[in-house]
Structure 1
Amino acid sequence: MSPPLFWVDEVPVAGSEAELSGPEGRHAVTVTRIGVGETILLGDGAGATATCEVLATRGKDTLRARALEYRFVDRPRPIVTLVQALPKSERSELVVELATEAGVDVIVPWQSSRSVARWVGSKADKGVAKWRTAAAAAAKQSRRAWIPEVADLASMTDVRARCAAVLDEGGIVVALHESGTRAFAEHDFRAAPQVLLVVGPEGGLSDEELADLSALGAHTCVLGPQVLRTSTAAAVALGALGVLTDRWDADAERGPN
């Protein structure tokens, strides 16, 4: 099993020391009960990690460690953005956790026409904050070097703009929907610099949204014979992309098998 990962603002280079304190220090010392001589990973969530030996602990929330090895990994290619329609509240953060564990790079919460959940005013700020916290926790759990970016709440206008930008760069936009007539695996994802996935809410994408996305150049696809929940569709698609591209190659960012 790989060492546990904790977030720091600055990752130490090999041979230098670092102090872990605050909430991350408390998690290491009090919750995980890390002791002197054990090995941990320190990461900044932006590609840099260091394998470290714990030198000392102090109180309930502080430890010092020496970096044994420093590593930086680029994001895997193609970059994958998930435009996720807001699911019901009980499944909201599960979407983020599963997509993060599966390797998503950017998550865009989207207020689609059929979303039961409604993020209005301060509720949008709180919802985005929860998703960002969930992404950081899931990235730590899965030993990811990168914490996915969670964007602000998007409207359909914002989604169109993101789709257009990806397509302009030669990327692929896929709307996952049971009405799709083309299989997901038929696309040449390996050659694409970016992939944008659109996942609808429990009620699915509306006809108007599908028509809007198709007019931009998006493809409507099915992943397989089963109809997937909105909370699991993105994770399944990301798993497929891992096989269909180089994202899961040995040198790419990934957690332990």
Structure 2
Amino acid sequence: MSLPVHLVPDLAGVAPGRTVLVEGDEAHHAVAVRRMRVGEQLQLTEGRGTVVTGEVAETGKRRLLVRALEVRTEPEPQPRLVVVQALPKGDRGELAVEVLTEVGVAEVVPWAAARSVAVWRGERVAKGLARWRATAREAAKQARRPWHPQVADLATTEDVLARVAAATLALVLHEDATVGLAGLALPAEGEVLLVVGPEGGLAEAELAALRDAGAQVVRLGAEVLRTSTAGLAAAAALLARTPRWGAAGEPLP
């Protein structure tokens, strides 16, 4: 069974034998919820590739001291998969962020698409981003990810078009597309950007603008998925064709 993972702000300079102080909510969760005791092992990460395997040296109220046993740093997985997620209604946004984080997406970009049912304005922007970022943080720990995904600021269509133009490969999911994911050539490195539209579908003007910016329009299959799950299905289909999901680092056939 894999060790529990806790997030800390910084692990710079940590080496075997040194101690790391964990405070606040993370320490409370380890001590009061998981009931970690002195001598038990766990892992710490700052979400930027460094993982410390250590043992609990001391516990206290909202305080945990961990002695490092092993320190490793992993490179960011390539290609870097970014999902532009049109705002879904209700709590489906958090569901999308959770499953995209678990599957290995590097960044989620919330998008105020023309036909998005949900609308973030004023205080709802900060509250929505806070919920999405908290969801990504907890899902990354649950998935034992050394690299935690980013949740970008709320994007306009103009912002998304700029991201499309800068990406190594940009894809847009659309039910009327004639090209499937299976035949695509994926880059070994760089950024693969995947655009997922809202419940009401992409507006014609948005679709045309995305094409003009350099995106390829693709489909998953005959079924029409919800916006909160379409990104997961497409991300899994793409990652399965990269070395990231190959056995022992080798690509799948």
TM-score class, shorter-chain normalisation, is: over 0.9
Partner of residue 20, structure 2: 18
Partner of residue 226, structure 1: 223
Q: Distance in 2 between matches of 1:5 and 1:250?
A: 24
SS in 2 for 1:89: coil
Deviation at 1:92, TM superposition (A): 1.5
Q: Which 5+ residue runs of structure 2 have no aligned equivalent? A: none
* 1:90 paired to 2:91: yes
SS in 2 for 1:244: coil
Q: Does the 8 Å contact 1:76/1:246 carry over to 2? A: no
Deviation at 1:247, TM superposition (A): 2.1
Q: Distance in 2 between matches of 1:123 and 1:136?
A: 20
Q: Does the 8 Å contact 2:87/2:93 carry over to 1? A: yes
Displaced runs of 4 or more, over 6 A: none
Greater relative contact order, per chain length (Cα 8 Å cut-off, separation 6+): 1
Partner of residue 216, structure 1: 213
SS in 1 for 2:36: coil
Partner of residue 149, structure 1: 150
Q: Distance in 1 between matches of 2:232 and 2:208?
A: 24
Partner of residue 177, structure 2: 180
- Greater CA deviation, 12-21 or 47-56? 12-21
Q: Distance in 1 between matches of 2:233 and 2:54?
A: 33
Partner of residue 244, structure 1: 241
Partner of residue 129, structure 2: 128
Partner of residue 107, structure 2: 106
Root-mean-square deviation over aligned CA pairs: 1.5
Q: Distance in 2 between matches of 1:88 and 1:251?
A: 39
SS in 1 for 2:194: strand
Deviation at 1:242, TM superposition (A): 1.9
Q: Does the 8 Å contact 2:169/2:187 carry over to 1? A: no
Q: Distance in 1 between matches of 2:123 and 2:173?
A: 30
| Deviation string, structure 1 residues 27-59 (Cα, Å, up to 9, x no partner) | 101111111221100000111111111122123
TM-score (normalised: structure 2): 0.93
Q: Does the 8 Å contact 1:82/1:104 carry over to 2? A: yes
Deviation at 1:202, TM superposition (A): 1.1
| Deviation string, structure 1 residues 135-183 (Cα, Å, up to 9, x no partner) | 11110111111111111111111111111111xxxx1111011111101
Q: Distance in 1 between matches of 2:213 and 2:161?
A: 8
